[in-house]
Structures are given as structure tokens and as C-alpha cells.
Structure 1
């Protein structure tokens, strides 16, 4: 039996509240642990436990020299979305680690950015049953026009937490 996951418990509880409150609770919890996400102003819009939707507003602090979301902020958005959904499904006695990320910039972004990341049942089963492993987490990043501005391959790994 795998160890309980505190993030999963928080998300499951938060999702019993109205959507506006659930979004705030989950975003606050995530950004309190992932400081750069809070600094950039990432928001978690929704999650059902297998999929998460995150947003990066086109805020001044996340803009590049031409007034759109900076390439690094787009990478942070994709990495955060995949890491959130990966970590949400990982047993509490395992540690998530980003193993590699490949990002291809396709087109100039317009307005706010949105990332939708998802994890498969097979990936979750492997995370629950294997001591260590890796999973390529699917993510789609679009701008306010709906255009996919970047393609990403986010490879996450898990290992057992070391006893202290």
C-alpha cells in the first residue's frame, strides 16, 4: 500500500468548495511550495485529479521585451502544470524529479497563456506500484487566441524518499 499524498488530500478537500474558492486554495498551496510559480503569478484554474489547467497572465513581471509572455515564463507554466499533475498522483513516500524538458517555440504568443496537462491511468498505476520510474507527461500550451505556441516534452521521474 502506498503512503498518503498530502497534496492529493488538499486538492480533494478544496474541490468540495465552490470553484472560485477551490482555485484560490489550490493555487495558494502550490505557489507556497513552488516559489517561482508564485513570483510569476501562475494560477491553477481547475483540476479533476487527472488533468490540470493553469494560466499565466500576460503580466508585466512575466513579459519579454515585445510585451508578450516571456519564453522562460512559458517554460515555467508547462513545467508547473506537468509537475503539479505528476505530484498529485505520486504516493506520499516518493519524490518527484524533472528529468528533462524539451521546448519548441512555434509562434509568437498573444495575451495570456494556458497549459493543460494530463496523466494516464497507466502512468498512475506505474507510479503506485513501482519503486522508481519515469513518465512523459502530456501538456498543451496555448495563448489567448487558442493557438498552440509551444510544444513540450516533460519527462518526470520518481524515486523513494530517503529516511531522515
Structure 2
């Protein structure tokens, strides 16, 4: 597994303000994610949980969380989970994402990313990541499947 991102999480997450600092560091590395102001809740191989607050900057014309804000959140959770799950000898890149908007998102949200299957790391291939976004009441408002293309790093 990739130890860099996970090691930083493990170093920061248990300290006061550490989860906030980790979230800011990750958004510094990938600035677009900063637009949703994510907060990492949990991170380990095969699991990532990220939350966002319902605030004006992520709303649509209906006053609910915008669909693309939820896509952004799903890609962040899915990509970070993949980063700490794939072997250090491999690299990955998102290849595609299928999404379902199930219900209006009227509150703060939490996204959880987990693998949909156990990959065979010995050959290049697709790694499918499932992401569910829930509202504060625990109802799923959005679901995504992100296909990651995973290959061994060049020697």
C-alpha cells in the first residue's frame, strides 16, 4: 500500500486540529477539492470517509447541495481510499464515474468510499470503488461507482 498519504493521516489525525490540517494539505496538493472544503473523518486501506458542510458555495438554485459538489466529494473519497489501498509498486488514475442522484441533499453530507471487489494486482486493470453520500439523517442521497485504472509503476 502507499505509505505516504496514510502515514501523514496517521501522524495528523489523532492530534487536535489534525484532521483539519490533513484535509487542507490534501487540498493544497489537489486544489480543486478545496472548493467543497472537505473534512476527512476516517482513512485506512479500503475505507475513506469525508464530510462537507452545507454552505452557500456548494448550493444549487434550489438551495440543496449541488450535484457536482457531490461528484467532487465522491472522487476525493474514492481517490484517497485508492491511494492508501493500492500497492506502493502501482499507480492509479480515475477512468470513469457513474453516478445516481437519489434524493435532494438538504443537509451536511458524508461520503464513504470502499472497494467493490478485490483486484488482482498482478496485471493492469480496473479497480471499482463504490461511494455512498448520506445526509445527516443517514439517508443515501447520492451513489457513485468510480473506475480506477491501476497499473504497475515503470521500473
TM-score for the superposition, normalised by structure 1: 0.82
What runs of 5+ residues in structure 2 fail to find an aligned partner?
A: none
SS in 2 for 1:64: coil
Q: Structure 1: how far apart are the matches of 2:80 and 2:86?
A: 10
Counterpart position of 1:152: 144
Uncovered stretches (5+) of structure 1, i.e. residues with no partner: none
| Partner SS state of residue 97, structure 2 | strand
Deviation at 1:138, TM superposition (A): 2.1
Moved over 6 A (4+): none
1:42-81 correspondence to structure 2 within 5 Å: 42-81=38-77
> What CA RMSD, in Å, does the superposition of the two structures yield over aligned residues?
2.2
Instruction: Supply the distance in 2 between the matched residues of 1:73 and 1:97 (Cα, whole angstroms).
Output: 20
Residue 22 of structure 2 is matched in structure 1 by: 26
Give the Å deviation of 1:51: 1.4
Tell me the residue number matched to 1:9.
7
Contact 2:127 2:148 in 1 (8 A): yes
- TM-score, normalised on structure 2? 0.86
Aligned counterpart, 2:78: 82
Tell me the matched-pair count: 155
Which of the pair is proportionally richer in helix?
1
Paired residue for 1:139, among 118, 128, 131? 131
